[in-house]
Structure 1
Amino acid sequence: MSTSTRRVKLANLVPGFYQAMIELDAVSATGLDPALAHLVRIRASQLNGCSYCTDMHSLDLLHLGDNQQRIALLPVWRESRTFYSQQEQAALELTDAITLISVDHVPDDVYDLAAKAFDDKDLAQLIALIVTINAWTRIGVTGRMEPGHYKPS
Structure 2
Amino acid sequence: MTTTDSTPAGAYAPEVPVRLDWDKHAPDVFRAMVRLDTAARQGLDPALHLLVQIRASQLNHCAFCLDMHSKDALAAGESAERIIQLGAWEESRHFYTEKELAALALTDAVTVLTDGFVPDAVYARAAAVFEEAELTRLISAIAVINAWNRFGVTCRKTPGHHQPGRQG
What TM-score, normalized by structure 2, do the two folds share?
A: 0.86
The aligned amino acid for 1:57 is H
- CA 1:104/1:51 → structure 2, altered by over 3 Å: closer, same or farther? same
Matched, 1:9 2:21: yes
Partner-residue secondary structure (3-state), 1:102: coil
The aligned amino acid for 2:104 is L
Equivalent residue for 1:66?
78
Is the Cα–Cα contact under 8 Å of residues 18 and 158 in structure 2 kept in the other structure?
no
Deviation at 1:66, TM superposition (A): 1.0
Matched, 1:18 2:33: no
Q: Structure 1 unaligned runs (5+)? A: none
Runs of 4+ displaced beyond 6 Å:
none
Partner-residue secondary structure (3-state), 2:164: coil
Distance 1:36 1:93 in 2: 13
Distance 2:99 2:35 in 1: 26
Distance 1:63 1:32 in 2: 18
Distance 1:5 1:49 in 2: 17
The aligned amino acid for 1:22 is V
Is the Cα–Cα contact under 8 Å of residues 53 and 137 in structure 1 kept in the other structure?
yes
Equivalent residue for 2:6?
none
Partner-residue secondary structure (3-state), 1:103: coil
Cα displacement string for residues 34-87 of structure 1 (whole angstroms, at most 9, x for unaligned residues): 000000000000000000101111111111111000000000000000000000
CA RMSD of the aligned region, Å?
1.3
The aligned amino acid for 2:88 is V
Deviation at 1:8, TM superposition (A): 2.0
Residues 81-120 of structure 1 aligned to structure 2 (within 5 Å): 81-120=93-132
The aligned amino acid for 2:80 is Q
Q: Structure 2 unaligned runs (5+)? A: 1-15
Structure showing greater radius of gyration is: 2
Equivalent residue for 2:161?
149
Is the Cα–Cα contact under 8 Å of residues 97 and 104 in structure 1 kept in the other structure?
no
Is the Cα–Cα contact under 8 Å of residues 85 and 92 in structure 2 kept in the other structure?
yes
What TM-score, normalized by structure 1, do the two folds share?
A: 0.95
Equivalent residue for 1:51?
63
For this pair of structures, how many residues does the alignment match? 150
Q: Percent identity?
A: 49
Deviation larger for 92-101 or 4-13: 4-13
Matched, 1:122 2:122: no
